[in-house]
A = this chain, B = another copy of it.
Amino acid sequence: MAGQKFILEHQVNYYECDPSGHLSLSMLVALMILASEKQNAQLGVDEHVTKELGGGWVIIDYEGHFQREWPKENEQIKFETAIVAYNKYFVVRQFVIRDYHEQIIGTVNGLFVYMDLSKRRMAKIPEAIMTPYEAASTLRLPKVARPDKVEATDEWRENHYQVRYFDIDYNGHVNNARYFDWMLDTLDHDFLLKHQIMEIRMNYEHEVRPQTEVNSMAITIENNAHEWTTQHQIWVGTQKCATATIKWR
């Protein structure tokens, strides 16, 4: 892992677990973001600093692989994070999630873009905010694999979710972790109880806005006796906002 490392230690609480007794995906993502924000703050380049420069980080893709059983209540886990590479507009940040015995639970790479907040478009990353990470600037970034390209058909399940007050953060944006709850809740609940995520590829295309209704579409495909793939799409009206491919064991 290149660049300055930061470690967030965390004990899993009962209310962070799903009905199967494991840490939920949306909580895992919330904790990853917490680790990255704590590192940004430690290095003196938190969101207040980027905001003063008129910019901010927006997540585009996650690619995650999970080797071990997902953590349960009271388990001590740690999130190690670093920026592994960056170029003019993008940053690849890695998260390694370990248990108390240093065994890797999972590894997630995230592709972030730097945005000009007033113009709502990509902007060149100011060199000053990258220096503290001591990460390598490269022309070619490591790949963060995208979800499968699939079209939803009539066979897909479909659930509608009104964006709620508590889905919104204090910047007025829908919390990125919330998308995972909409995606997974659309699957069969009995399937969720009995299976665990081994791989996830998630892409954010458009922001889900407050006061809108989300259409979450999903399908489960059985690959063989021990592996399943689920495909996910989040729509608001005629706009596709996010897609994901998840593999389960």
Measured in the bound complex, the distance between the Cα atoms of B222 and A179 in whole Å is 36
Measured in the bound complex, the distance between the Cα atoms of B192 and A162 in whole Å is 17
Looking at the assembled complex, report how far the CB atom of A184 sits from the nearest CB atom of chain B, in whole angstroms: 7
Q: Is A237's beta carbon under 8 Å from chain B?
A: no
> Which listed residue, B15, B21, B24, B26, touches A33 by the CB 8 Å rule?
B15
Measured in the bound complex, the distance between the Cα atoms of B14 and A24 in whole Å is 17
Q: Is A13's beta carbon under 8 Å from chain B?
A: yes
Measured in the bound complex, the distance between the Cα atoms of B20 and A177 in whole Å is 19
Q: Which of A50-58, A103-111, A122-130, A164-172 contacts B (4 or more CB under 8 A)?
A: A164-172
Give the size range of A's interface with the partner. 20 to 34
Determine whether the beta carbon of B166 is less than 8 Å from that of A18. yes
Chain A window 158-185, contacts with chain B (Cβ cutoff 8 Å), 1 for yes, 0 for no: 0100101110111010010100010011
Looking at the assembled complex, report how far the CB atom of A179 sits from the nearest CB atom of chain B, in whole angstroms: 13
Determine whether the beta carbon of A170 is less than 8 Å from that of B20. yes
When distances are taken between beta carbons in the complex, the residues of chain B under 8 Å from A26 are: 166
Q: Is A17's beta carbon under 8 Å from chain B?
A: yes
The 7 tightest CB contacts between A and B, nearest first, are: A21-B170, A15-B30, A19-B168, A164-B185, A165-B185, A165-B189, A166-B181
Determine whether the beta carbon of A170 is less than 8 Å from that of B34. no
Measured in the bound complex, the distance between the Cα atoms of B189 and A37 in whole Å is 27
When distances are taken between beta carbons in the complex, the residues of chain B under 8 Å from A14 are: 33-34, 37, 169-170
When distances are taken between beta carbons in the complex, the residues of chain B under 8 Å from A20 are: 170
Chain A window 7-29, contacts with chain B (Cβ cutoff 8 Å), 1 for yes, 0 for no: 00000011101111100101000
When distances are taken between beta carbons in the complex, the residues of chain B under 8 Å from A34 are: 13-15
User: What are 15 A-B interface contacts by the 8 Å CB criterion?
Assistant: A13-B34, A14-B33, A14-B34, A14-B37, A14-B169, A15-B175, A18-B165, A18-B168, A19-B168, A19-B169, A26-B166, A165-B185, A165-B189, A165-B192, A189-B211
Determine whether the beta carbon of B177 is less than 8 Å from that of A15. yes
Measured in the bound complex, the distance between the Cα atoms of B20 and A37 in whole Å is 19
Determine whether the beta carbon of A18 is less than 8 Å from that of B164. no
Given A15-B169, A17-B170, A18-B170, 17 more A-B residue pairs with CB atoms under 8 Å apart are: A13-B30, A13-B34, A14-B34, A14-B37, A14-B170, A15-B30, A15-B33, A15-B175, A15-B177, A18-B165, A18-B168, A24-B166, A73-B170, A164-B185, A165-B185, A166-B181, A189-B210
